[in-house]
Chain A
Amino acid sequence: MAHIWPIGGGKGGSGKSFLASSLGHLLAKAGKRTLLIDLDLGAANLHTFVGVPYPEKCFSDFIAKKHLTLEDVKLPTPCSNLFLISGANDTLDIANLPYEKKIKTLRAINRLNYDYILLDLGAGTSFNTLDFFLASRNGIFITTPEPTSIENVYRLMRAIYFRKIRHYFSAAHFKDLEQKVKQHFDEISFSKPERIVSVIRKDFPEKYQLIKKDFDTFCFKLVINQMHKQDNIALGPQICKLIKTHMGMNVEFAGNIAYDEHVHDAVCQRVSFLDRYPHTRAANDLRDLSKKLSASSGEQLSLNYL
């Protein structure tokens, strides 16, 4: 079964597509059959990063036509071993993917036969993003060392956490839970899933055990992108510690990527950054990151709600 790495970050411009394309590139170069899927529905541009300016097929085709599989809509890229499912020509209403189509997509992704599948997710915390992120236990969060970006990545983490808890309850039970949370805390509690968990711990102990067991198997990763020289390099580990202490979620710090003007140049020239500038600091960081990520991704567990 393929290793699935969803890449999400909350804020736009934090480097999700850049990281997806770079990691895909490195994995493919290392001889792994790698597939990039552009799931930034409605704002897809991963094809531009990997040098496929005019994709003939796209993700929408798979959604619209019953007889097509994901395998049918994949495209080769200039880099051998690296394949792309583009979102370039997606229909304009793709951003609001209906539930059954989403489940269809998730099932199809799970059946694909590759070494690595990287999912480039959109900004924000729509259900689509959350569910695609939860397609694997090895999701990668990416953020820049700026308050705006950090704020959004925390929000994404909490949304994912909340979504996961929600899976454990039926609609009626969840209403019940909501009532109890309201009794214990104030109105803002729903933006703090850790409070909800504390109520679950008290009132639904058997559910709490299940959720805890599930969360312990998660091994999310955190990448800090665009690290300037003057930034605090301990930021990543500190964020992971904060998440662990206050939310009980395992997020492993994967590494920093240095800020590099060359990335901008490479994107403007529409060439692969790693090919164009292989000896810059950011390129070195990416190679380290790729090594670390492939070494630490545990076994792939199937989705529990399919």
Chain B
Amino acid sequence: MDKKFSEMNYYEMLDIRPDANAAQIRAAYNYALQMYQADSLVSYSFFSQDERREILALLDKAYATLINEHEREKYNQELARNGILDVMEKSAQVKKEPVNIFDISKHKDFFAARRTDAADLKMKIEKNERIRDILGRSVLTGADLKDMRTQLGVTLEKIHQETKIRLDYLRNIEDDKTEKLPAAVFLKGFIKAYLRSLCLEPADELAARYMNSLPGKN
């Protein structure tokens, strides 16, 4: 009763909140068409032909404006200038976007934590004589890997989480169950990943050393 349809703003016409996202705008537009289209039962006889044409034109314009981000921004600014919707404008800035389920920025401290972890590990490796001793040998076995890992205080599960290598593979590697290990081409990659997650360098060379010391190799 307060406002004629043509006096409404686009958000009111489509009956959506000012922070509606594209999908909501589209749904609202379709819903409005259901109500106002010429063959709609809902508004049958409610409008004269001219009125209906006018309403449909307004709806089209509202949709075209709001669905286009650039146009919508301009329109929002115009509304704000007229002081109609200062509250609206604020909420419009927190636009709802599709949420990325792999959103890295969600775990902001993830990389930071990893960096400090890596620095820690490198420190430990330098200080630990036993590890340096193992790294100095020309032969590297699964038992050695396990030894170094326990020295560094890293759990097998953590390596599993970081490298995405199956836990049973990791166990077999550490227990030197050579018959159960995957094919050499995969194994080499696994070993490299394992070494890198423990910050044992140089990973390539160490992995080669491990592969050479496998009993099947000789």
Question: Which residues of chain A have a CB within 8 Å of any CB of chain B?
Answer: 145-147, 150-151, 154-155, 188, 194, 197-198, 201, 212, 215, 232, 234-235, 238-239, 241-242, 245-249
CA distance A145 to B40 in the complex (A): 11
Residues in B with CB closer than 8 Å to A234 are: 34
Q: Is A212's CB under 8 angstroms from B1's CB?
A: yes
Q: Is B5's CB under 8 angstroms from A246's CB?
A: yes
Q: Is B43's CB under 8 angstroms from A242's CB?
A: yes
Residues in B with CB closer than 8 Å to A249 are: 1
CA distance A214 to B143 in the complex (A): 87
Residues in B with CB closer than 8 Å to A146 are: 41
Interface size class of B (residues with CB under 8 A): 10 to 19
Q: Is B41's CB under 8 angstroms from A232's CB?
A: yes
Q: Is B44's CB under 8 angstroms from A188's CB?
A: no
Q: Is A241's CB under 8 angstroms from B45's CB?
A: no
Pick the 8 closest A-B CB pairs, nearest first.
A248-B1, A151-B45, A238-B42, A147-B44, A150-B44, A238-B35, A154-B46, A239-B42
Verify if B4 is at the interface (C-beta below 8 Å from A). yes
Interface of chain A, main secondary structure: helix
Chain B 41-76, CB-CB to A under 8 Å as 1, else 0, gives 111111010000000000000000000000000000
Considering residues B1, B2, B41, B43, which has the most beta carbons from chain A within 10 angstroms of its beta carbon? B1
Residues in B with CB closer than 8 Å to A245 are: 5, 15
Q: Is A197's CB under 8 angstroms from B42's CB?
A: no
Residues in A with CB closer than 8 Å to B42 are: 150, 235, 238-239, 242
Residues in A with CB closer than 8 Å to B43 are: 242
Residues in A with CB closer than 8 Å to B15 are: 241, 245
Residues in B with CB closer than 8 Å to A241 are: 15, 35
Shortest CB-to-CB span from A83 to chain B, Å, is 38
Residues in A with CB closer than 8 Å to B1 are: 194, 197, 212, 215, 247-249
Question: Which residues of chain B have a CB within 8 Å of any CB of chain A?
Answer: 1-2, 4-5, 15, 34-35, 41-46, 48
Considering residues B34, B44, B48, which has the most beta carbons from chain A within 10 angstroms of its beta carbon? B44
Of B41, B45, B46, B48, which is within 8 A of A235 by CB?
B41
Q: Is A150's CB under 8 angstroms from B35's CB?
A: no
CA distance A140 to B45 in the complex (A): 20
Q: Is B46's CB under 8 angstroms from A188's CB?
A: no
CA distance A194 to B48 in the complex (A): 13
Sample 17 A-B pairs with CB under 8 A, ordered by A number.
Answer: A145-B41, A147-B41, A150-B44, A151-B44, A151-B45, A154-B45, A155-B45, A194-B1, A198-B4, A215-B1, A235-B41, A238-B35, A241-B35, A242-B43, A245-B5, A248-B2, A249-B1
Considering residues B4, B5, B15, which has the most beta carbons from chain A within 10 angstroms of its beta carbon? B4
The residue in chain A whose Cβ has the minimal distance to the Cβ of B7 is A198
Of B2, B5, B45, which is within 8 A of A150 by CB?
B45
CA distance A212 to B15 in the complex (A): 21
Considering residues B34, B45, B46, which has the most beta carbons from chain A within 10 angstroms of its beta carbon? B46
The residue in chain A whose Cβ has the minimal distance to the Cβ of B43 is A242
Q: Is A188's CB under 8 angstroms from B5's CB?
A: no
Residues in B with CB closer than 8 Å to A232 are: 34, 41
Shortest CB-to-CB span from B106 to chain A, Å, is 38
CA distance A146 to B44 in the complex (A): 9
CA distance A238 to B43 in the complex (A): 9
CA distance A188 to B2 in the complex (A): 21
- With contacts A150-B44, A150-B45, A232-B34 known, what are 19 further pairs, Cβ within 8 A? A147-B41, A151-B45, A154-B46, A188-B48, A194-B1, A198-B4, A201-B2, A232-B41, A235-B41, A238-B34, A238-B42, A241-B35, A242-B35, A242-B43, A246-B46, A247-B1, A248-B1, A248-B2, A249-B1
Shortest CB-to-CB span from A134 to chain B, Å, is 17
Residues in B with CB closer than 8 Å to A150 are: 41-42, 44-45
The residue in chain B whose Cβ has the minimal distance to the Cβ of A155 is B45
Of B2, B4, B46, B48, which is within 8 A of A242 by CB?
B46
The residue in chain B whose Cβ has the minimal distance to the Cβ of A245 is B5
Q: Is B45's CB under 8 angstroms from A147's CB?
A: yes
